[in-house]
Chain A
Amino acid sequence: MNFTFDTELDSFREQVRDFVRSHLPEHIGRRMRQKSFAPDDLHTAEWHGILAKKGWSVPAWPEEYGGTGWSALKQFVFNDECAALDAPVFPWGPRDMVGPVIYTFGSDYLKETYLPMIREGRYYWCQGFSEPGSGSDLASLRTTAVRDGDRYRVNGQKIWTSGAAVARYGFFLVKTDTRCKPQQGISFLIIDMKAPGVTVRPIAQIDGDDHLCEVFLDDVEVPLENLVGEEGKGWTYAKYLLDHERTGSSYIFWNKRELAKAREIAESEHRCGQPVMAMEPFRRRFAGVEAELTALEWSVLRELAGEKTRWNATAVASSLKVRGAQLQQKITDLQMEALGRKGLRYIAPEEMVDFPATALWPDYFVGKSSVALITRAATIYGGTVQIQRSLIARLAFGV
């Protein structure tokens, strides 16, 4: 056993730090410091393009498709540094989901058509999995794709499709066979969001944003070659993704950066004549959260370093997801507590860009309450924490 990073990784960390410091445009960093989630707009694309030129935009991919060949720990260091320096986090849909499915299961046509544009970050992609009647019970989805000559005709409705309004493409789970067992009739389809019959309706959110969307698919024609892999294997591919990417749902980098912001706020804001950070009850809560975050980070490192445990690997991944989601909420809670009444002031999403900072309303105040509100979703999306607990009980203990 060995619990330290290789020295090679330490020098790599320096290298990444230097690169991000000298290449991340200031206006993008500022937006990330204010609001925590990468805006699905030109700023993310701009940063993605900068990394693509350096060859660092899709580190985890195989080298033949533009990946870096870095070890999992090296990727950890890369992502850790990028987040710490306020670089936008990539939309994980294209990079971590549809990309890997295409290069693992897709045809040469799909690889040649889509992998370069994903690598270069040219467009935003959305993920069409959930439906109004299929949330946690995803396999019950009802959107159909019926073959009609050289194309599918797709009909149905998706919901919680983040960023669908600005997405150029989407990857969808659809039913190509309604007669067999639910999981077996599902296929993985790439849909052009500008195709006739695709209607997107943004959903007004709790935080004033409207990033989540409903997508209506009304007789949408999709070329057969946009089927990824084989018909009826979509469920397998979706599960492959979950197995492939076990640590992403811990949101470890986001959590670390946001805790640092919580600290900054608590050290700057005063109450009863002292910094919030000096107040005993707050300090205690902060200590508990920080210790838990350290545990999460080390759980991620164990996973990335390939620890073999006696426990089912999916159960372990679920435990990272549960803690990661809980921590997102605990950390935004700390930010809100530290802001006190200031957290109540509403800033509309469009005001957040170029918000004029003052001594009373500093940069760190912007966007925090919006993020705290939408972060209530952290324990819901991607399989609720209750679903994860049921999974753990079944996979780790067979109950």
Chain B
Amino acid sequence: MDFNLSEEQQLLVDSATRFMADHYTLEGRRRHLEQGSAFNSERWQRIADMGWLMLNVPEELGGLESPFVDTCLLMRCLGKTLCWEPVLTSGVWAASILARLSDSPAAGDALTAIAGGELRVAGLWSGFDSETGVDFPISANVDGRGNWHLSGQVPMVVDGPTADTLLVPAVAEESGEPLLLLVDIDGKGVMLDRYVLIDGTPAADIRFAGCTVPPAGCIATGEDVRTLLDVAADRARLACIAEAVGIMEACLDLTADYIKNRRQFGQPIGNFQALQHTLADMFIAAHESTSMLFYGLSKLESSAGERGAAISAAMLVVDRALKEITEQGIQLHGGYGVTDEYAISHYHKRGLVLRQWLGSADFHCDRFMSERH
């Protein structure tokens, strides 16, 4: 057991920290949001140039295939500075699925393109109502030439509007078999209702009507698709936990700094014990969330049941901690906490997204309990 960073990991963290400080400031974020969260391909290319989109890509496809903890260390840095790029969606989640489809040339091509920054892929995850958290709301009808005709819709595809390609879990109409398809977002019959989430992340309700996918676009079939999606969703959850831990650490620093400098009654408000104890509780919550990140990572390669229980337990702890830390962070900022000008409000909103995106606390509580008991 070793919880200290290796030299390479320290380098990764250091370079990510520097990069984020240079390119993802609060002012930059506010400008980005004012512009309707418009995607900027130069910025994305810079991210790709850092090699971060290669972490989950196999070596033979031009990737680094790093241990997943490296991805989490990176996501923690991204969380700290509220990086708004779709790294988790494309570089972690989609890449984690595609990397396990070595037989599919289309999947391989997509991965290589993801690694190089030329392609962004968003998955259609419908909301985690099923037992494992993966549903198949799109139905696919195959014709005589093997083309798939898609119909159905999925609400709130996070990072959908900035993707080039959609990763679509579907069910074959005749056989009832699960499928996984790659669909060009600009193709005929793909309709997007675009909006932004509470934290500015672009999202869209996506509907298929008269959308045809050639045979090569179907990159996986059969029950393995479920397993594939489950594993990838849990990897995405760990990345999300890591991002959350980064957010928590940033909130601790921000809030400590604020109460040391803000003066009332002739002294820094940090002198007041009620505020000190709130800050201490935030610290404790952040510390235990970090522990759950490591615990979750330790179970990533375990059996599906054990992995799922562990990661859901981690999500449960992180859900509470994010709530406590960002809400109390606002409280300790007083009125400034509810302004757009102070970063704490942005962290809170990102926290709200992370607490729901990959399954709510209720979902994770159920999953944890049903696996454990």
Contacts and interface: CB of A to CB of B under 8 A. Distances in A.
A337 interface: no
Nearest to A302: B3
Contacts of A315: 283
Interface string B1-16: 1111110010000000
B142 interface: no
Contact of A390 (B256, B259, B273, B368): B273
Contacts of A398: 256, 260
Interface residues of A, number: 47
A305 B280 contact: no
Give the secondary structure class of B's interface: helix
Contacts of B233: none
B284 A323 contact: yes
B1 A5 contact: yes
A283 B1 contact: no
Nearest to B70: A1
Interface in B189-208: none
B288 A299 contact: yes
Interface in A100-142: none
B276 A298 contact: no
Interface string A1-17: 11111100000000000
B318 to A, nearest CB: 10
B277 interface: yes
A297 B275 CA distance: 28
B277 A393 contact: yes
Interface string A300-327: 0110011110010001101100110000
Interface in A342-399: 386, 388-394, 396-399
A136 to B, nearest CB: 13
A386 B292 contact: no
A319 B287 contact: yes
Among A291, A296, A316, find the residue whose CB has the most chain B CB atoms closer than 10 A.
A291
B299 to A, nearest CB: 9
Interface string A257-291: 00000000000000000000100000110111011
A294 interface: yes
B10 to A, nearest CB: 11
B107 interface: no
A204 interface: no
Contacts of B69: 1, 3
Contacts of A386: 277
Contacts of B310: 294
Interface in B153-209: none
Given A3-B297, A397-B279, A291 B284 contact: no
A295 interface: yes
B1 A399 contact: no
B313 interface: yes
B292 A298 contact: yes
Nearest to B270: A399
Nearest to B277: A389
Contacts of B276: 389-390, 393-394, 399
A245 interface: no
B289 to A, nearest CB: 7
B294 A298 contact: yes
Contacts of B283: 311, 315, 319, 392, 396-397
Contacts of A316: 287
A63 interface: no
Interface string B305-330: 00000100110110010000000000
Interface of B: 1-6, 9, 67, 69, 252, 256, 259-260, 268, 270-271, 273, 275-277, 279-281, 283-284, 287-292, 294-295, 297-298, 310, 313-314, 316-317, 320, 365, 368-369, 372-373
Given A3-B1, A319-B287, A392-B283, 10 more contacts: A1-B6, A73-B1, A283-B369, A290-B368, A294-B291, A298-B295, A302-B291, A322-B280, A390-B277, A393-B276
9 contacts: A3-B69, A73-B1, A292-B288, A292-B317, A299-B287, A302-B291, A305-B3, A306-B3, A307-B4
Interface of A: 1-6, 73, 277, 283-284, 286-288, 290-292, 294-299, 301-302, 305-308, 311, 315-316, 318-319, 322-323, 386, 388-394, 396-399
User: Which 3 pairs of residues, A with B, have the shortest CB-CB distance?
Assistant: A393-B276, A399-B270, A3-B298
